[in-house]
Structure 1
Amino acid sequence: MSKPVVLTIAGSDSGGGAGIQADLKTFNSTGSFGTSVITCLTAQNPDGVTGILEVDAGFLEKQMRAVFSYFPVKAVKTGMLFSESLIRTVSRILKEYRAKGQDFHLVVDPVMVATSGAKLLQDEAISSLIQELLPMAGIVTPNLDEAKILGSGEIQTSQEMKPEAISLSKKLGVPVLLKGGHLKHSAEALDILSFPNGESLSYSKPFVQDFNPHGTGCTYSSAIASYLGQGESISSAVGKARDFLHSAIVQSFPAGKSKTLNHNPD
């Protein structure tokens, strides 16, 4: 039985719980065939990032062409892009292959800051992300901190999420999944999917304590890409990805100093 091909364009996590490693695990667990383009090597674990080595833009292009020239890619997920040069290269190649008739969904996870606080996107790259890549996206998946950088207001409560998600989606002109996992003192993990026409949907799960959230954003966005590649609608893909992530969290297991996501939940 064939599987849809899904591509992740992101950084490598030496800790194995986020980035390319989390994406490929998620693709496999959700029924897709994963391919990858590495933007950066990182020296990191759930405690923090101690080094970033950016891939040359020319080599990034070779990786992308190697995948697109062979595989019928059904969905692309971008994660850590790090620099203006890499964002421009990714945007240019994606536009080129779409113009050639490659029909793929694009999920943009605007990775800017690691859970540990390390910067994963250079300041000068933010405008390129907003102007060149985001307009191509089928869905953008910011957390609350990333949404603020992209143009939403300060969000302190779950009640503020819906209007801010609607506003941000209208501003960017693409569907936005605003993730509320960073809300403090909340009993629920609330996410809002909003469309530029003002429509919105809410997804909620009980907030789970006692696990390390490292890699949750990567896992969520890659699951969405996987389900979109399988033909699901945006709302259905988000719902199925939300269920997958919650199972991965609930079934997290000890690895090193803390519990880590289980990318192969029951």
Structure 2
Amino acid sequence: GVYPMPAGAVKAQIDAIGADFAIAAVKTGMLFDAEIIAETAAGIRKHGWRNLVVDPVMIAKGGATLLQDEALEAMRTLLLPLAEVITPNIPEAEMLSGMKIHEAADRKRVAEQILAFGAKAVVIKGGHADNPLIAEDYCLDRNGESFVLRSARIHTQQTHGTGCTFSAALTAELAKGEALPEALVTAKRFIQAALSHQLHIGAGHGPTNHAAYRYFAAEGDVQFVQ
């Protein structure tokens, strides 16, 4: 079930954080509707927050749409112009761009369309691609620089929160002052460890293991390909 908060409560939370902390980086997740997105974007501008990572949570594991139709345009026009980087998976990138990704070569034109909305960089995550052996994330920035992060695909049901885990790790690295490429490599290593060392909680899509990176960071190669 989805139970959205009142937009006024979101504003109050943002203002409470803004008044109490020096914020080094910000990550957004599922924002549900246009009003919440508008309040979020207004709060980010008001407090002058930088290093915004937009994780555009739009589609549930089962395929259900989590974002209202009018919210999509609000995200494009209000939130993406503030973003340091946006981290859609393939279905989310297709929804944002209005274009389809049929093969690896399509990622560049989809990324370019998403960047046209104002974000500084986009990372199209490869978890939904068909390759059974490799998980490949494609990054493009507004200067036209691109690279790929490549790792072995891990076949597991323990995938609940995979995208959120990746974007949170990325946000933490940006908060520490890391440049985007280095921050992305660390985030990729973090999620590889979290997926490789499984918790097996519950019978369905179990959660990723956030503690694993502390102990197993050296495991699992991540290739940086330009």
State the TM-score, normalized to the length of structure 2.
Answer: 0.88
Across the aligned residues of Structure 1 and Structure 2, the Cα RMSD in angstroms comes to 1.5
| Partner in structure 1 of residue 166 of structure 2 | 220
Q: Alignment partner of 1:189: what SS?
A: strand
| Partner in structure 1 of residue 218 of structure 2 | none
Once the two structures are TM-superposed, the CA of residue 210 in structure 1 deviates from its matched residue by: 2.4
1:91 equivalent in alignment to 2:91: no
Amino acid at match of 2:92: E
| Partner in structure 1 of residue 144 of structure 2 | 198
Deviation string for 1:101-146 (max 9, x for gaps)? xx53100011111112222111111100000000000000111111
Q: 2:117 aligns with which of 152, 165, 172?
A: 172
Q: Alignment partner of 1:81: what SS?
A: coil
Within 2, Cα distance between the matches of 1:67 and 1:262? Answer: 27
Within 1, Cα distance between the matches of 2:86 and 2:166? Answer: 12
Q: Alignment partner of 1:74: what SS?
A: coil
| Partner in structure 2 of residue 72 of structure 1 | 22
Within 2, Cα distance between the matches of 1:236 and 1:76? Answer: 18
Within 1, Cα distance between the matches of 2:39 and 2:156? Answer: 39
Within 1, Cα distance between the matches of 2:115 and 2:210? Answer: 33
What stretches of structure 2 of length at least 5 have no aligned partner?
A: 216-226
State the TM-score, normalized to the length of structure 1.
Answer: 0.75
Q: Indicate how the Cα distance of structure 1 residues 62 and 138 shifts in structure 2: closer, same or farther if over 3 A, else same.
A: same
| Partner in structure 1 of residue 178 of structure 2 | 232
What stretches of structure 1 of length at least 5 have no aligned partner?
A: 1-50
Q: 1:247 aligns with which of 193, 209, 217?
A: 193
CA contact (8 A) 2:50 2:84 kept: no
1:260 equivalent in alignment to 2:204: no
Instruction: Report how many residues are paired.
Output: 211
Once the two structures are TM-superposed, the CA of residue 227 in structure 1 deviates from its matched residue by: 0.6
> Larger % of strand: which?
1
Q: Alignment partner of 1:172: what SS?
A: coil
Within 1, Cα distance between the matches of 2:21 and 2:210? Answer: 24
Within 2, Cα distance between the matches of 1:156 and 1:107? Answer: 26
